[in-house]
Structure 1
Amino acid sequence: MYLGPNLGLTILRTRHSIRKYKDDTVDEKIIQDALDCARLAPTARNEQPWLFGVVKEKEVLRAIADLTDHGRFIAGAQVCFAVFGKKDEKYYLEDCSAATTQLILGLWAYGVGSCWVAGDKKEYAGAVGELLNVPDDYTLVSLVSAGYPADVSVAGKKDLAEITFSEKYSKN
């Protein structure tokens, strides 16, 4: 289904990290739609090596926030998604990163802001898995805090000309 050039590009161009959230509850339909977007992400050999957790209980959100090194704001989110990848799959990191991106974009399509918090190779990855009772054959790839934005401040981005090249890279 083609939505036209503007809607999709608007979602992609306006999405940015949100770390402060309103107290408004995120509707279950939005959560399920965002999870469905994640589920439909591209994956090497169609392995789909992921497991998605959804956390809404304030005590658990606080516990996850306390475990992280740069995710204290998770405690103030309305929901946190935990994306786990099956350790023995060769491309779990790439696949789960694609799923995380689609999850985030699915949320933003409804105006729900989010912030990707790293999980892969972080010291707290195992502790988050234990807290959420995830089987040992999965590892944390990402945490995504989400909620309706309370504060919208957008960081500047580099100019396209600064970060692109055609054919072969040249410093000139």
Structure 2
Amino acid sequence: MDEKQSKNHFKVKVKCKFMYNKKDITNEDYNMDYKALLKNRRSIRRFMDQPIDPKILDEILNDTCMAPSASNMQPWRFIVIQDKEIMKKLSDESKKNRIEVIEKDPSNALKQYETILRDSTFNVFYNAPCLIIIAGKKSHYHFNQDCSLAAAYLMFAAIERNLGTCWIALGDAIEDIDLRREIGLSEDYQIVAPIIIGYPDKIPSMGPRNKPEVLKVI
């Protein structure tokens, strides 16, 4: 992992590529209890005040890069932020831009979030100890789908290490050029998944899940 680290600032931009071994995959490679991972994942918004070891973050990002992608283009890039001041600026910027959308079009689905977006004390990233932004290279046609798959892999890689995550969709409206430059996000990339990550302070029970609704079997 390439690192630029100061007192309270840990920011990383990584592209991962893998060279797979040509050995046959045996059943031993599939011994993981994937159902436990599925059942244990939660959307965590309350975290302990405990930093994440950079080595663990590196492991999570490498696991994330195992995600499938169209034509194996792997268009994802990562920005890792632990600087609370930068996260606050990102939160304020995204809230401002979301409110502008609501004001222009009150029928927009964002209207349901207007109250919290106008709350000056509300941080869309819930004061998490770490924020990982997954951004996609816009020149790749399927970057949204590919980066969404990477986001799922990141979440499962995190829970396997007793870390909680939450995809913060309200936090992706970062348009300010100077702020984008500060976090290393050029115009070639679009934010797909801002994911907060940390050690859970409280783990909620799983919400109800609907049975599959199959529209049609042909």
TM range (shorter): 0.7 to 0.9
> Secondary structure, in 3 states, of the residue corresponding to 1:30?
helix
Letter matched to residue 2 of structure 1 = Y
Deviation at 1:65, TM superposition (A): 2.5
2:49 to 3, 20, 23: 23
Alignment of 1:3-22 (within 5 A): 3-4=31-32, 7-22=33-48
Deviations 1:80-127 (A, max 9, x none): 00011011111000000001110111011011001001279x5x2334
Q: Find the counterpart in structure 1 of residue 162 from structure 2.
A: 111
Deviation at 1:153, TM superposition (A): 1.6
Q: Find the counterpart in structure 1 of residue 175 from structure 2.
A: 126
Give the percent of matched residue pairs that are identical in Structure 1 and Structure 2: 26
Q: Find the counterpart in structure 2 of residue 165 from structure 1.
A: 214
Distance 2:181 2:44 in 1: 26
Distance 2:83 2:137 in 1: 25
Letter matched to residue 85 of structure 1 = G
CA contact (8 A) 1:85 1:141 kept: yes
CA contact (8 A) 2:124 2:168 kept: no
Distance 2:196 2:85 in 1: 14
Q: Does residue 60 of structure 1 match 2:86?
A: yes
1:93 to 128, 141, 144: 144
Deviations 1:129-148 (A, max 9, x none): 34413121111101000111
Letter matched to residue 217 of structure 2 = K
CA contact (8 A) 1:55 1:61 kept: yes
> Secondary structure, in 3 states, of the residue corresponding to 1:76?
coil
Q: Find the counterpart in structure 1 of residue 12 from structure 2.
A: none
Structure 2, unaligned runs of 5 or more: 1-28, 96-116
> Secondary structure, in 3 states, of the residue corresponding to 1:125?
coil
CA contact (8 A) 1:119 1:141 kept: no
CA contact (8 A) 1:54 1:82 kept: yes
TM-score by length of 1: 0.84
Q: Find the counterpart in structure 1 of residue 192 from structure 2.
A: 141
Deviation at 1:152, TM superposition (A): 1.6
Larger Rg belongs to: 2
CA contact (8 A) 2:124 2:170 kept: no
Q: Find the counterpart in structure 1 of residue 69 from structure 2.
A: 43
1:84 to 135, 150, 161: 135
Distance 2:148 2:170 in 1: 11
Distance 1:119 1:75 in 2: 11
Deviations 1:20-68 (A, max 9, x none): 1100111222211110122121000011111111001121122222233
Letter matched to residue 82 of structure 1 = I
Deviation at 1:155, TM superposition (A): 4.7
> Secondary structure, in 3 states, of the residue corresponding to 1:26?
coil
